[in-house]
Structure 1
Amino acid sequence: MAATIIYFFRLLFLGIAAILYIYFLPSLIAEKRNPLKAHSIFVFNLLTGWLIIPWIIALVLAYRMDSVPQSTA
């Protein structure tokens, strides 16, 4: 019985983590491509990301950001 409960909560935790990852995917992409401008995508994603169309808009904006060249130092 205890093993079943532990398995259930582990599965629940992984499901919530996957949902949060997908929800904040535009913010993560924006942070990777241009950390200086990622704040605006994060705020937009946080406030309107639960709707499908604004989430897609945030994803497109994150991909369209100019990449900042990585320093080789």
Structure 2
Amino acid sequence: MDLERGYDAYVPVFAAMSDILPVVDVTEPFPAAGDGRRMFAYGKLGPHPSDAGNALIARTVAATVPALTAT
């Protein structure tokens, strides 16, 4: 995610990708999570998900995977 461009910058990319393969858009829950700064750790490589951000990603993926793997 690019915090400067915002979450909406990824919507068209994920929409196009979802035509080809299953996509779990983990950007959607971030705005609803409140203070975005605590969701990211800031280091010399730029912002990456913090422990709280990774937990949010894990919950989002865990909730989505059963539907993606159902036969």
Same-fold call, TM cutoff 0.5 = no
Higher-RCO chain (CA-CA 8 Å, sequence separation at least 6): 1
Task: Give the shorter-chain TM-score range.
Answer: 0.3 to 0.5
Task: Give the alignment's TM-score, normalised by structure 2.
Answer: 0.33
- Higher Cα Rg: structure 1 or 2? 1
The structure richer in helix per residue is 1
Relative to its length, the structure with more strand (as a share) is 2
* TM-score normalised by the chain length of structure 1: 0.33
